[in-house]
């Protein structure tokens, strides 16, 4: 029986997720991609350009997402092969290798923002280090607690931390809500898969819109990991199950296959 999963991830992740579905999922499991958030580079804003001019002064540059790595490439940052300054989360380390052509730092860190903080704490003299954190700004979304908690934790290390808002994450327009609700109401949609806290907040708004307009959507919702689940709960969404291995899309899709 065909099982279709509604995937809320941003468009930038769709190619990798499609490849993962082909590798590990049975043919009867079909992803339905509908990004609930969009990300756009802000490589030319004053904040990013100031960082571009000063990037040599930072001991570490933390990329909060794959998009942050892409912005580094876009603004022409040149990093030597022996310079281990770029820190990325989980599989985003592969993007550092392929796009920037360097090896990332802290490769053994847990694949999360707090995992990076914990790895940094093991560095001698951290309070004397200067760290840039490449982050999104948000439009139509609250700042996820994963980011605010991360910034609080890294500032508590006493390192010299500079946030750099180098791209923008936005909620999709409410004009798309009717079509999304129609799709979620179809019988062959069996589940919703979340990959980030921002998606969870938009989904909460969509489900409220559905309820207010007489649509009953009771699909199970699955989460990529505990940090996404935390944001979902804050948005008022009940997550059916959370993947315990959130380092790759392959593992997430194996989890979804087992659950649905």
- Write down the pLDDT at residue 245: 80
Q: For position 146, what pLDDT does the model report?
A: 85
Q: What is the pTM of this model?
A: 0.84
Q: 140 and 106: one domain?
A: yes
Give yes or no: residues 177 and 166 share one domain.
Answer: no
CATH number for the domain that contains residue 202:
3.40.50.10090
DSSP state of 105: B
Q: In this structure, are 150 and 246 located in the same domain?
A: no
What are 27's two structure tokens? 């043919």
DSSP 225: S
Domain boundary among 170, 199, 225: 170
Do 164 and 49 lie in a common domain?
yes
Same domain, 46 and 156: yes
* pLDDT score, position 12: 83
50 in the same domain as 163: yes
Distances (CA, A) of 257 to 29, 76, 146, 191, 248: 8, 40, 27, 11, 15
Domain shared by 78 and 194, yes or no: no
Are 166 and 177 within one domain?
A: no
Range of the domain at 76: 40-170
Domain edge (last residue) among 138, 170, 202? 170
Domain-ending residue, one of 137, 170, 203: 170
- Give the Cα separation of 210 and 237 in Å (integer): 14
CA distance 73 to 182: 39
Position 25 scores a pLDDT of 83
**Four-residue CA torsion sign, 214, 211, 178, 219:** negative
Q: Are residues 160 and 82 in the same domain?
A: yes
**Mean per-residue pLDDT pooled into runs of 10, the chain (260 residues):** 90 90 87 95 97 96 95 90 88 92 93 93 95 96 90 96 97 96 90 94 97 94 92 94 86 90
11 and 119 assigned to the same domain:
no
Are 213 and 255 in the same domain? yes
Residue 219: its pLDDT value, please? 96
Count of domains forming the chain:
2
Question: Are residue 44 and residue 111 in the same domain, yes or no?
Answer: yes
């Amino acid at each position: 029986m065909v099982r279709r999963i509604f995937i809320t991830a941003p468009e930038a992740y769709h190619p990798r997720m499609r490849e993962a579905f082909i590798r590990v999922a049975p043919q009867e499991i079909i992803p339905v991609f509908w990004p609930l958030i969009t990300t756009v580079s802000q490589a030319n804003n004053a904040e990013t350009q100031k960082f571009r001019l000063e990037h040599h002064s930072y001991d570490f540059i933390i990329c909060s997402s794959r998009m942050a790595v892409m912005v580094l490439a876009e603004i022409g940052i040149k990093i030597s092969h022996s310079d281990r300054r770029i820190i990325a989360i989980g599989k985003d380390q592969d993007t550092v290798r392929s796009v920037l052509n360097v090896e990332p730092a802290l490769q053994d860190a847990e694949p999360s923002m707090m995992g990076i903080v914990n790895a940094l704490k093991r560095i001698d003299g951290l309070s004397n280090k200067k760290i840039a954190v490449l982050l999104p700004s948000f439009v139509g979304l609250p700042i996820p607690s994963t980011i605010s908690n991360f910034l609080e934790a890294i500032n508590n290390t006493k390192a010299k931390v500079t946030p750099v808002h180098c791209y923008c994450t936005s909620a999709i327009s409410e004009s798309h809500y009717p079509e999304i609700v129609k799709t979620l109401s179809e019988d062959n949609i069996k589940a919703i898969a979340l990959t980030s806290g921002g998606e969870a907040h938009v989904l909460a708004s969509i489900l409220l819109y559905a309820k207010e307009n007489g649509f009953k959507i009771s699909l199970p919702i699955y989460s990529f990991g505990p940090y996404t689940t935390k944001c979902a709960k804050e948005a008022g969404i009940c997550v059916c199950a959370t993947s315990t291995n959130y380092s790759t899309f392959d593992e997430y899709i194996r989890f979804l296959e087992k659950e649905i």
